[in-house]
Structures are given as structure tokens and as C-alpha cells.
Amino acid sequence: MSDPKELVSVYKGENPTEAHLVMNLLLDEGIDASVSEENEPFAGLSIAAPDVLVRREDAPRARAIIEKYDDVQEARADRPDWKCPKCGAHVIGAIDDCESCGAARPGTEEDDDDSE
């Protein structure tokens, strides 16, 4: 029988930054999570992708949270590129703020706050 306190992998990050982002999402939801031991980077690249670990008993809930995160990331990636209304810069669709001037993507909550 499996130990419910045993650590299991619920997510393999593309890089340490992404793994820590997912770990923080889980921590915010009250799930104790950690990132697997990271290998020393070689020339700025990790040797192996890090895992996000949780207790086996928390794994189903953690996977549900991660599935929602993945759905949001996929939806963001599918958005069309846009032109900044303030400076005219071309901005990649997945990004919400203009990298040139910091203006919010038209139609976002942040943009709506600016118009009040």
C-alpha cells in the first residue's frame, strides 16, 4: 500500500522558473509542494527538467489545479498578436502588457482600470 505522505511528481517544468511558478500556485491553494533537486545549470541550461512534488494524498487536487493552469496557458498562447494603442509596437498575443511602453492589452482588466 502506498504511503499518503510519500512525495510524488505532479508536474515536470520546462525550466526551474516554470516549476517554481506551479509550485507557488499549489502553495497558494494550501498544498505543500516543492521542486525536485535541480541540477547545476551548464552554460545557463538545466540538465534535467525539474519536477513539482506533492504528498501522494494531495496529488489529485494538485493535478486539478495544474490542469486549470495549463488550460489558461494554452488559451493565452492561442491569442492573436496585437498592436499597442499607445506606442504602436507589435506585441505577441500571449503577452498582456506592451514590452515597449508598458501599456495594457486593450480589453484586459488592467486596461479597463486605466479608463476609469
**What pLDDT is recorded for position 107?**
81
The verdict on 67 and 91 lying in the same domain is no
Residues whose CB is less than 8 angstroms from the CB of residue 60 and which lie 6 or more positions away in sequence, other chains included: none
Q: Which amino acid is at 51?
A: D
The verdict on 71 and 84 lying in the same domain is no
The verdict on 112 and 98 lying in the same domain is yes
The verdict on 11 and 65 lying in the same domain is yes
Into how many domains does the chain fold? 2
Give pLDDT tens digits along the chain (116 positions).
Answer: 578 889 999 999 888 889 999 999 999 999 999 998 655 555 555 567 899 999 999 999 999 999 999 998 888 888 999 999 999 999 998 888 999 999 999 887 655 555 44
The verdict on 22 and 68 lying in the same domain is yes
**What pLDDT is recorded for position 59?**
97
C-alpha cell at 6: 510519500
The verdict on 98 and 113 lying in the same domain is yes
What is the pTM assigned to this prediction? 0.67
Domain span at residue 115 reads 79-116
The verdict on 69 and 88 lying in the same domain is no
The verdict on 24 and 42 lying in the same domain is yes
**What pLDDT is recorded for position 116?**
46
The verdict on 12 and 66 lying in the same domain is yes
The verdict on 70 and 92 lying in the same domain is no
Question: Domain of 11: which CATH number?
Answer: 3.30.70
Indicate whether 1 belongs to any domain: no
The verdict on 65 and 31 lying in the same domain is yes
